[in-house]
Amino acid sequence: MHAISLFSSAGIGELGIEAAGIKTVCASEIVPYRVGLYRENFPQTPMVEGDIWKYRDQIVETAEASLSGKELFLVYATPPCQGMSSNGLGRLKFEEGRKRDISGDPRNRLVIPALDVIKRLRPRWVLFENVPGMRFTEITDEDGRRVKILDYIAAQLGSDYVGGGEVVACEDFGVPQRRKRLITMFTRDHHAAAMFRELGGSFISRTLFEPRVTLRDAVHDLPPLEATAGKSQRLDFSPDHYVNVIEERKLWWIFHTPEGETAYNNQCVNPQCLYQLNALHRDGVTQGRATSSKTTPVYCERCGELLPRPSVLQEDGTYRLLKGFHSAYRRMKWDEPARTLTQNFIYEASDNKIHPSQNRVLSVHEALIVQTVSRYHYRFDIAGARISNARIAEVLGESVPPYLIEKLCRWIISISEPSAATT
C-alpha cells in the first residue's frame, strides 16, 4: 500500500502511517528546516519543496512516477491550522464589536490545491487531520463563494467518495494527552463506504479506543529535574531529558503552586500569617475579548506581604500582577492525561504546562512520550546537527500524535476490500 503526504511538516504523522504498513511515496512541505528533518528521517521518500499552489503539478508527477502504475491507497493531508485554531491568528477576532471575516485567509484556502492533487490521483482513501475548528471554518472558493471547508471537500470529491469529519479525543486512543482533533475521512472503497453509510455521522470505530493513560503512567518514573543551573538536564539518561533554567522569582511562584493549581491563586506564605482566603484570579470577557482580572491581589489581604503570584516590580517599588489568565503558571495533574502539548510547552507561562510536582516544565524527552513520538525512531538532526529547542517544540506542538494516525491507518486497512492490501 502506498500513500502521499501533503503539508508534511517534519513527518511526525508519517511515523504512524509507515508503522501501519503503508509506504509514503511522495511528500510536500514549504518550510525549509522541516523539509530537512523530513529528508533526514525519510530519506527514501521523494520530497517536493515549496508552495503547493505552485508545485501541485510536480507533486502529482512525482507521485505517479513513484507509483509506477500501482494504486494510491491514501492521501494524508494536514493543512496549516493557524487560520482555524482558537489559539491561532485565525480565531474569530472582534474589531469594534464585529467579527472579522476570515473566509479569505490564504492558509484556509490551501485545501483547494490539495484537492486538485487528490482528484487527479484518485486515492482509495483521503485523510485530513486538523483542529476541531475546521468544521465551522468557511473559505472563499474559486468562484468567490463562501462555503464551509468540509462541504467543499465533499463536493469536490463527488459521489464516488463517502465519508465526513469527526472530532476525536486523543486520550481515548491510548495517547497520554488531552488533545482534540478533527479527523476527516473519505473513501471510494466499496466495503468501507457501505460501513460508513450504516454508521452515519460517527464513523470511527469505538473498538479503537484504549484505556486512558495518565501523566503518572507515562512519565512518573523518569529521573527528576529542576529548572536551575546544574540540575536542569540528565543527558546521561537521555539527550532529550532537559529543560530551560527558570529565573529565581518565577521558581518562587512555581514552588508554592499546588498540583493542578495556578500560581495566580497562591496564598500567603508568611509564617506569621498564612492567610488562605485571598481573592482568586478570574478570567472574563469584555466586548468579545478575553481579559484577565485587574482586581486580583498581589499582596496578602490580611498581613500585606507579597504573595507568590506572577508579578512585576514597578518604579515606585511596589509590585503589580502580571497580565495573564488562570491557565498560566498552572501545574498539570498526575492522574489525568497531560494537557494539550503546544509549541510553547517549553515555557512555564504557557497554559497548563508546569510539571505536576517538580519545579519545571516537561522535558523534551517527556514531551516525546506524551506526543507518542518516543514509540518510533525519529531524529531532530539536519546534516548531523541538532535543531534548536524552540524548533523541536514547534514541530511537536503542531504535530498529531503518530500513534493516533497508526491506529486509524490500521483500521482503514482492516475495513477495506481485501485487494487493497496487495495493491
Q: Looking at residue 137, what is its pLDDT? A: 87
Pull the grid cell for residue 376. 518510533
Q: What is the 3-state secondary structure (H, E, C) of the chain?
A: CEEEEECCCCCHHHHHHHHCCCEEEEEEECCHHHHHHHHHHCCCCCEEECCHHHHHHHHHHHHHHHHCCCCCCEEEECCCCCCCCCCCCCCCCEECCEECCCCCCCCHHHHHHHHHHHHHHCCCEEEEEECHHHHCCEEECCCCCEEEHHHHHHHHHCCCCEEEEEEEEHHHHCCCECCEEEEEEEECCHHHHHHHHHHCCCCCCHHHCCCCCCHHHHHCCCCCCCCCCCCCECCCCCCCCECCCCCHHHHHHHHCCCCCCEHHHCCCCCCCCCCCCCCCCCEEEECCEEEECCCCCCECCCCCCECCCCEEECCCCCEEECCCCCCCCEECCCCCCECCCCCCCCCCCCCCCECCCCCCECCHHHHHHHCCHHHCCCCCEECCEECCHHHHHHHHHCCCCHHHHHHHHHHHHHHCCHHHHHC
Q: Looking at residue 73, what is its pLDDT? A: 98
pLDDT under 70 in the chain at which residues? 81-105, 201, 284-292, 419-423
Q: How far is CA 245 from CA 68, 250, 331, 343, in A?
A: 52, 10, 17, 18
Q: Looking at residue 184, what is its pLDDT? A: 94
Q: Looking at residue 89, what is its pLDDT? A: 38
Q: Looking at residue 294, what is its pLDDT? A: 76
Q: Looking at residue 94, what is its pLDDT? A: 35
Q: Looking at residue 420, what is its pLDDT? A: 61
Q: Looking at residue 81, what is its pLDDT? A: 53
**218-253 pLDDT per residue, tens:** 999 999 999 999 999 999 999 999 999 999 999 999
Q: Looking at residue 288, what is its pLDDT? A: 53
Residue 205, judged by CB atoms within 10 A of its CB (0-12, 13-18, 19+), counts as middle
Q: Looking at residue 95, what is its pLDDT? A: 36
Q: Looking at residue 85, what is its pLDDT? A: 45
Q: Looking at residue 289, what is its pLDDT? A: 54
Q: Looking at residue 105, what is its pLDDT? A: 63
CA-closest candidate to residue 161, choices 211, 119, 201, 132: 119
